[in-house]
Amino acid sequence: MALIVQKYGGTSVANTVRIKEVAERVIATRNAGHDVVVVLSAMAGETDRLIHLAQEVAEQPDPREQDVLLATGEQVTISLFSIAVKHMGHEAQSMLGHQARIYTDHAYGRARISEIRTEPIWHNIYKGCIPVIAGFQGLDGRGNITTLGRGGSDTTAVAVAAALAADVCEIYTDVAGVYTTDPNIYHKARKLQRISYDEMLEMASMGAKVLHIRSVEFAKKFNVPVHVRSSFVDESGTMVVKEEKSMEQVMVSGVAYSKGDARITLAGLPDVPGVAARIFTEIAQEGIVVDIIIQGSTDDTSLANLSFTVLRLDRQAAIRVLEGMKKEWTDLDISSDENIAKISVIGVGMRHHAGVAAKMFQALGNEGINIHMISTSEIKVSCVIDDSHTAKAVQILHDVFELDKPLQHEIPE
């Protein structure tokens, strides 16, 4: 008998028919003798709908009130689901973030879980009642409702699994697992049997939305085995696990892309010490995360240029911060571009294989795809390109690194 946390995403609970099917699935797991804790997302499209409603009322909705609004999406699914389970003759109890004692920091819209006091969840488990927890939401120290950022229900699920020391956290979604790239963008994408936490972390940070980044951080930190699988078919999916020696044999195990970034370019900056520190400190103070940074010099030795990427949704806020610096830096010119995409190749094997970056640049160059920015880590190489080339670039890189073939460590002995 195991303790299993099962999280169902928006498409898995998109309507009442799906909700009843998922309820049957959960009951089947219970009947097999396991304890189950359920975490649910809002119905597919619901969070978008709520965001649009808020924007109809105000261009920049108040963040506290927007979180109160967005948290309602999950309230609908947990209650409908619990009604379905009870109707099927089993015990279930819906639990909002605060009822499940999920505490976060104060950052509305992007809150981080700080603690889960598990007594109320355990109380339900001991009673033989299935806890049905609203994903994506928590409570800050002042009693305000917070949300965890888009896709955040995965993080609720893994954090709950970590706090309960569950045997596994199953993430049910609309694809059969984690693929070598987004299967909705390239038909040759192949389901991976296993992927290491570090690779999954890079995949998620680089745009593979199949798992929320923070969920992978939690999984790695607390060693939670995560099983990503489909709620539509009965087959095993992908295990996200600790790195295994054999995983290093492959140079690249996935290609990710993100269309969620914007590039900001600053020209005419004074070329003196402390300028970059000031810019990035003030931007960080707004809670904006900066990704790729390129600093260049100009012919005029007293001036410098700087380009960096931020999330598209943070572009305006970042520009507002920078506009405030124009008074002091009178030559400063600020421009920005949203028509960009970030494309990345990822693999723990890169630590031991040379030439991945060169092969990537060559492949993009051969197709006439211009690279605007580059960044690397130990296990990934990313390029910023025009977003119109995204699908083509994903397909080329998938082909060049032969990701449609089984990886070395997946071939049975």
102-104 vs 92-95, strand pairing mode: unpaired
177 part of the interface to Mg ion, by CB under 5 A = no
**Rounded Cα gap, residues 125 and 91, in angstroms:** 10
- For residue 53, the minimal CB distance to ligand ASP (Å) is 14
Residue reference for tokens 């390129």? 294
The site string for ligand ASP over 8-37 (x = CB under 6 A, - otherwise) reads -xx---------------------------
Candidates 226, 207, 206; CA nearest to 216 is: 226
47 part of the interface to ligand ASP, by CB under 6 A = yes
Half-sphere exposure of 327 (CA within 13 A, CB side): 3
What is the amino acid identity at position 273? P
Which option in ligand ADP, ligand ASP, Mg ion, none does residue 248 bind, with CB closer than 5 to 8 A by kind?
A: none
> How many Cβ atoms sit within 10 Å of the Cβ of residue 118?
18
Main-chain phi, psi angles of 10, to 5 degrees = -55, -45
> How many Cβ atoms sit within 10 Å of the Cβ of residue 268?
17
- For residue 180, the minimal CB distance to ligand ASP (Å) is 23
**Rounded Cα gap, residues 189 and 177, in angstroms:** 11
> Quick one: which of 5, 71, 102, 178 contacts ligand ADP (CB under 6 A)?
178
**Rounded Cα gap, residues 307 and 269, in angstroms:** 11
Q: Are 196 and 247 in contact (CB under 8 A)?
A: yes
136 part of the interface to ligand ADP, by CB under 6 A = no
Tokens of 191: 């389901």
208 part of the interface to ligand ADP, by CB under 6 A = yes
Whose CB is nearest to Mg ion? 151
Q: Which residues pair with 380 in a beta bridge?
A: 346, 377
> Quick one: which of 8, 136, 172, 186 contacts ligand ASP (CB under 6 A)?
136
**Rounded Cα gap, residues 344 and 99, in angstroms:** 40
Q: Which is nearer to ligand ADP, 11 or 104 (CB)?
A: 11
The site string for ligand ADP over 239-278 (x = CB under 6 A, - otherwise) reads ---------------x------------------------
Q: Which residues pair with 40 in a beta bridge?
A: 8, 134
> Quick one: which of 81, 108, 136, 179 contacts ligand ADP (CB under 6 A)?
179
- For residue 120, the minimal CB distance to ligand ASP (Å) is 22
User: How many helices (H) and strands (E) are present in the chain, helices listed first?
Assistant: 12, 20
- For residue 108, the minimal CB distance to ligand ASP (Å) is 14
Q: Which is nearer to ligand ASP, 216 or 369 (CB)?
A: 216
**Rounded Cα gap, residues 238 and 228, in angstroms:** 5
101 part of the interface to ligand ASP, by CB under 6 A = no
- For residue 195, the minimal CB distance to ligand ADP (Å) is 9
> Quick one: which of 4, 5, 6, 10 contacts ligand ADP (CB under 6 A)?
10
152 part of the interface to ligand ASP, by CB under 6 A = yes
Q: Are 49 and 14 in contact (CB under 8 A)?
A: no
Measure CA 278 to chain center. Answer: 29
- For residue 7, the minimal CB distance to Mg ion (Å) is 9
* Helix ranges restricted to H, 32-166: 46-57, 63-70, 72-87, 119-127, 153-164
209 part of the interface to ligand ADP, by CB under 6 A = yes
Which option in ligand ASP, Mg ion, ligand ADP, none does residue 372 bind, with CB closer than 5 to 8 A by kind?
A: none
Which option in ligand ADP, Mg ion, ligand ASP, none does residue 108 bind, with CB closer than 5 to 8 A by kind?
A: none
131 part of the interface to ligand ASP, by CB under 6 A = no
- For residue 282, the minimal CB distance to Mg ion (Å) is 32
Interaction residues for ligand ADP, span 39-58 (CB under 6 A): 41
Measure CA 260 to chain center. Answer: 11
Interaction residues for ligand ADP, span 148-177 (CB under 6 A): 151, 173-175
Site size toward ligand ASP, by CB under 6 A: 12
- For residue 209, the minimal CB distance to Mg ion (Å) is 6
**Rounded Cα gap, residues 341 and 346, in angstroms:** 16
- For residue 212, the minimal CB distance to ligand ADP (Å) is 8
> Quick one: which of 25, 86, 150, 209 contacts ligand ASP (CB under 6 A)?
150
Terminal-residue alpha carbon distance, the chain: 31
Q: Binding residues for ligand ASP, per CB under 6 A?
A: 9-10, 41-42, 47, 73, 135-136, 150-153
